[in-house]
Amino acid sequence: MNRTMAGVWKIILLNIFIVSARSSVMKDTKVYSAMGNHDYHPKNQMPPEKNNIYEQTANLWHDWLQAASKETFKIGGYYTEKLLNQTGLRVMVLNTNLYYDQNKLTENIKDPADQFSWADKVLQDAAKNNEKVYIIGHVPPGFFEKKRDKAWFRKEFNKRYIDLIQKHSAIIQGQFFGHHHTDSFRMFYSSKGSPISAMFLTPGVTPWITTLPGVIDGGNNPGIRMFQYDTKTLLIKDIITYYMNLTYSNVAHERWEKEYRLTEAFRVPDASPASMHRVMERISTDKCYLQKYFEFNSVNYDLTECHADCRIDHVCAMREVDFEAYEKCVVKEGGSSTAPVLFTLLLSLMLSLLCLS
Ligand SMILES: *[C@@H]1O[C@H](CO)[C@@H](O)[C@H](O)[C@H]1NC(C)=O
Ligand SMILES: *[C@@H]1O[C@H](CO)[C@@H](O)[C@H](O)[C@H]1NC(C)=O
């Protein structure tokens, strides 16, 4: 067996291990699984066509995928189904590894594995059938909030993804992505600037210290998350995140505890796009909320203070998924702190005292 084949089999065996571990604890739970950039060998190089790993993964996930889902999955690693087999509800699982700028196989392709045109058709049909839709994926569009100017998608894919969301926002009730291992979210706006969709970046169960140059102490505690949603409209009503304090668990014993509930921590009625916009505004303008968000961002791992540059990185990543709008945001937010230093110091001292209460 050559190195590539050995790598392919390692990935397949690893996936078999994960699937059986998940199946044994969640026997009666329907699982919608998306491929991550490390679920392939060589990593990130997901092909825009049929291959052995998509094929083997589809077979591995046979309990989770309906027959039609298996077919599209084998071609491009994506699928769609009625959510929990219910009329009016739909889930669309994307393979956004095809858009990752590290993926050399999709560099010069306009629509890798025809996923964009497929997704557009899925959403058009869903609208015709009065369905509400959740979108699931791994690598998100937009920017990494812990490093200035670090995007994942290639530029033209990023643009096309935003177009897709803007076009179909009336029926999209949530977007659920990962990849960062950190806890954050992304806002999508209409061309007139009203909040139309939110993407939730769920922290990783796996603690991971990023190898990206320039990120200081970029680790996370293990986190898992529960979304509460309206079973008819798919409106997300609340988000509860649980975590394991690794420092504590390593010296004492394994312990999972509640980290926070979105509506309590940020005082909003739900997790609708309008509410998430309000959360983002609070984080942007109120130091207490910024610090709270920042600690949640690493799942309570990095408890240092989020200073001015940190604020810009996080706020602009949350607010602007589009490349040009992000650049503008960085310039705008960077130029807005005109208050004299001493006054700012006093103010932040007062605010940090207030945050304690
Ligand atoms: C889904 O619902 C249809 C009826 O609407 C039913 O015939 C089918 O068996 C259900 N499938 C599953 C997997 O529950
Ligand atoms: C995690 O545990 C360590 C060790 O017990 C403790 O010092 C630290 O404050 C804990 N972190 C949080 C966020 O509770």
Task: Note the pLDDT tens digit of each residue in 8-47.
Answer: 666 555 566 566 666 666 678 899 999 999 999 999 999 9
Distance of CA 90 to the CA centre of its chain: 19
Distance 265 CA to ligand 2 centre (A): 19
CB distance 248 to ligand 2 below 6 Å: yes
Distance 60 CA to ligand 1 centre (A): 22
Domains, in order of start, for the chain: 31-356 (3.30.750.180)
- Strands in 79-82's sheet, in edge-to-edge order, are 79-82, 89-93, 132-136, 172-177, 195-201, 184-189
Distance 220 CA to ligand 2 centre (A): 13
What percent of the chain has a predicted confidence (pLDDT) above 70?
87
- Mean of the per-residue pLDDT values of the chain: 91
CB distance 300 to ligand 2 below 6 Å: yes
Question: Which band of pLDDT confidence, cut at 50, 70 and 90, is reported for residue 52?
Answer: very high
Mean pLDDT lowest among 80-89, 184-193, 200-209, 250-259: 200-209
State the Cα–Cα distance between residues 290 and 292, nearest whole angstrom: 5
Question: Which band of pLDDT confidence, cut at 50, 70 and 90, is reported for residue 65?
Answer: very high
CB distance 247 to ligand 2 below 6 Å: yes
Are 211 and 271 contacting, i.e. CB atoms less than 8 angstroms apart?
Answer: no
What pLDDT, on the 0 to 100 scale, is given for residue 217?
83
Which residue's CA is minimally distant from atom 3 of ligand 2? Answer: 248
Q: Could you tell me which residues come within 8 angstroms of residue 122 by beta carbon, excluding any fewer than 6 positions away?
A: 80, 90, 92
Whether the predicted pLDDT of 211 surpasses 90: no
Distance 23 CA to ligand 1 centre (A): 21
Whether the predicted pLDDT of 322 surpasses 90: yes
Whether the predicted pLDDT of 2 surpasses 60: no
Q: Which ligand ends up closest to the CA of 303?
A: 2
Average pLDDT over residues 196-204: 97
What pLDDT, on the 0 to 100 scale, is given for residue 84?
96
Distance 174 CA to ligand 1 centre (A): 24
Ligand 2 atom at minimum distance from 300 CA: 13
